């Protein structure tokens, strides 16, 4: 076991599966295999409709969290959610989320502590700017 694999917490129900088997299972799931069949084939002790929730998130190796500088993850997409909605990429450390550039996500903002702080600072800066403008305008 390399440390690489250890940074994702794998649910007890699928601890007996190798990462490859989990990927295989997920591929079959997306291809339309019934949850009940998969659970039976892979000997997973869980309610069929819970299957997707226990699968570990996908590691996005080429996406680092801008704050923590660690690899980010994406939750697996369930079949019922339309193929269009891709879950955001998330940082396990600070909870920072990156949404795909997509019209449905245009107004989505990340609420992790870093982004909140950044927004706060930007707001303060904008406010100061505004105040300075007003002072300038009326001091003449
Ligand atoms: Zn982070
Ligand atoms: Zn964030």
Structure-token match 């003449």, residue found: 140
With cut-offs at 50, 70 and 90, classify the pLDDT of residue 85.
low
Between residues 109 and 37, the one the model is more confident about: 37
Give distance in angstroms: CA of 35 to centre of ligand 2: 34
| Residues in the 5 Å CB sphere of ion ligand 2 | 96, 110, 112, 115
State the Cα–Cα distance between residues 50 and 46, nearest whole angstrom.
7
**Helices vs strands, H then E, count in the chain:** 5, 4
> 54 burial class (0-12, 13-18, 19+ CB within 10 angstroms)?
middle
Give distance in angstroms: CA of 77 to centre of ligand 1: 21
Give distance in angstroms: CA of 39 to centre of ligand 1: 33
Which pLDDT belongs to residue 104? 61
Between residues 2 and 46, the one the model is more confident about: 46
pLDDT at residue 44 greater than cutoff 50 = yes
Instruction: Read off the tokens for 88.
Output: 């955001």
Which pLDDT belongs to residue 13? 95
State the Cα–Cα distance between residues 92 and 74, nearest whole angstrom.
10
């Amino acid at each position: 076991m390399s440390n690489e694999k250890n940074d994702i917490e794998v649910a007890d129900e699928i601890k007996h599966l190798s990462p490859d088997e989990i990927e295989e299972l997920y591929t079959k799931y997306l291809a339309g295999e019934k949850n009940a069949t998969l659970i039976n084939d892979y000997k997973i002790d869980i309610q069929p409709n819970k299957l997707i929730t226990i699968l570990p998130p996908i590691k996005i190796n080429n996406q680092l969290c801008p704050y923590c500088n660690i690899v980010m993850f994406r939750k697996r997409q369930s079949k019922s959610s339309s193929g269009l909605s891709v879950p955001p990429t998330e940082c396990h450390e600070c909870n920072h989320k990156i949404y795909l550039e997509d019209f449905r996500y245009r107004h989505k903002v990340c609420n992790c502590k870093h982004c909140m702080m950044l927004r706060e600072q930007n707001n303060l800066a904008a406010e100061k700017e505004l105040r300075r403008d007003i002072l300038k305008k009326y001091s003449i």
